[in-house]
């Protein structure tokens, strides 16, 4: 039993529906794989569609669903505010599954890949809230401030959250003393754990 079959076997209440969806999708020119623990179908290295089963429904995730025409009005954004491109098509019974509609959507998604159409992930910048302890050190030390500014938004946030998450003032101070040399040396808080 391969990983796709294992996934379907574990989703006992949606087994029939998932097998049907898989049969429809594998009849198209897609490579079948597992990503994020679920069956995913790829065309020329680009994620097209994924299978998923939950308590009350099973469904298809179209990675670039927002680019599709959706003439059947089947899509919902299951992660409103988190994703712009990925849309979900839910099925509540085997009768909901229409092979021709699904093939039309998947073929359109493949065509979009061929045309180079893609909605890039919006790397929106979350606001960096600098804790008072760090803000004070940054205002006192010009070199520290300029080095801190060279870090990406996410690395700045890691430093800030590291200090802010401490409950006691003494812990905040200890953490501040730890990160100052890191900032001055251009090292992110978790750099030593990366590429291990």
Q: Are residues 96 and 58 in the same domain?
A: yes
What are 73's two structure tokens? 């009005």
Q: Are residues 161 and 67 in the same domain?
A: no
Residue 172 within a domain = yes
Question: Which residue matches tokens 């493949």?
Answer: 110
Counting every residue, how long is the chain? 196
Residue 122 within a domain = no
Residue 46 within a domain = yes
Q: Are residues 104 and 168 in the same domain?
A: no
What is the model's pLDDT at position 196?
A: 42
Q: Are residues 105 and 158 in the same domain?
A: no
Indicate the number of domains in the chain: 2
C-alpha–C-alpha distance, residues 144 and 151, integer Å:
11
Of 98, 100, 113, 111, the residue nearest 47 (C-alpha): 113
Q: Are 54 and 42 in contact (CB under 8 A)?
A: no
Burial of 134 (0-12, 13-18, 19+ CB in 10 A): buried
Q: Are residues 14 and 103 in the same domain?
A: yes
What is the model's pLDDT at position 123?
A: 56
pLDDT in tens, the chain (196 residues): 789 999 999 998 999 999 999 999 999 999 999 988 899 999 999 999 999 998 999 999 999 999 999 999 999 987 666 678 899 999 999 999 999 999 999 999 999 999 999 988 655 556 778 888 998 888 888 889 888 988 888 889 899 999 999 999 999 999 999 999 999 999 988 887 665 4
What is the model's pLDDT at position 13?
A: 93
What is the model's pLDDT at position 116?
A: 94
Output the pTM of the full model: 0.63
What is the model's pLDDT at position 194?
A: 60
Residue 60 phi/psi, 5° resolution?
Answer: -115, 140
Q: Are residues 140 and 104 in the same domain?
A: no
- Domain enclosing residue 144, as ranges: 132-193
Q: Are residues 100 and 163 in the same domain?
A: no
E strand segments, 44-103: 46-53, 58-62, 75-76, 87-91
What is the model's pLDDT at position 124?
A: 53
Q: Are residues 93 and 32 in the same domain?
A: yes
What is the model's pLDDT at position 82?
A: 65
Q: Are residues 101 and 175 in the same domain?
A: no
Q: Are residues 85 and 8 in the same domain?
A: yes
Q: Are residues 109 and 50 in the same domain?
A: yes
Q: Are residues 109 and 153 in the same domain?
A: no
The domain that holds 48 is classified in CATH as 3.90.1150.200
Alpha-carbon distances of 143 from 41, 81, 128, 152, 182, rounded to whole Å: 49, 37, 19, 17, 13
């Amino acid at each position: 039993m391969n990983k796709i079959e294992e996934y379907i076997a574990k989703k006992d209440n949606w087994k029939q529906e998932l097998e049907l969806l898989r049969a429809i999708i594998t009849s198209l020119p897609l490579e079948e794989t597992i990503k994020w623990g679920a069956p995913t179908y790829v065309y020329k290295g680009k994620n097209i569609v994924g299978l998923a089963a939950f308590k009350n429904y099973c469904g298809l995730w179209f990675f670039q669903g927002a680019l599709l025409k959706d003439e059947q009005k089947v899509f919902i954004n299951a992660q409103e505010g988190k994703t712009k491109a990925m849309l979900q098509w839910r099925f509540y019974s085997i009768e909901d599954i229409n092979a021709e509609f699904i093939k039309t959507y998947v073929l359109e998604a493949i065509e979009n890949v061929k045309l180079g159409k893609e909605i890039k992930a919006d790397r929106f910048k979350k606001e960096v809230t600098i804790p008072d302890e760090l803000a004070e050190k940054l205002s006192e030390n010009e070199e520290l401030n300029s080095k801190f500014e060279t870090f990406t938004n996410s690395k700045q946030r890691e430093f800030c959250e590291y200090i802010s998450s401490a409950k006691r003032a003494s812990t905040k101070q200890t953490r501040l003393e730890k990160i100052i040399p890191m900032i001055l040396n251009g090292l992110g808080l978790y750099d030593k754990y990366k590429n291990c």
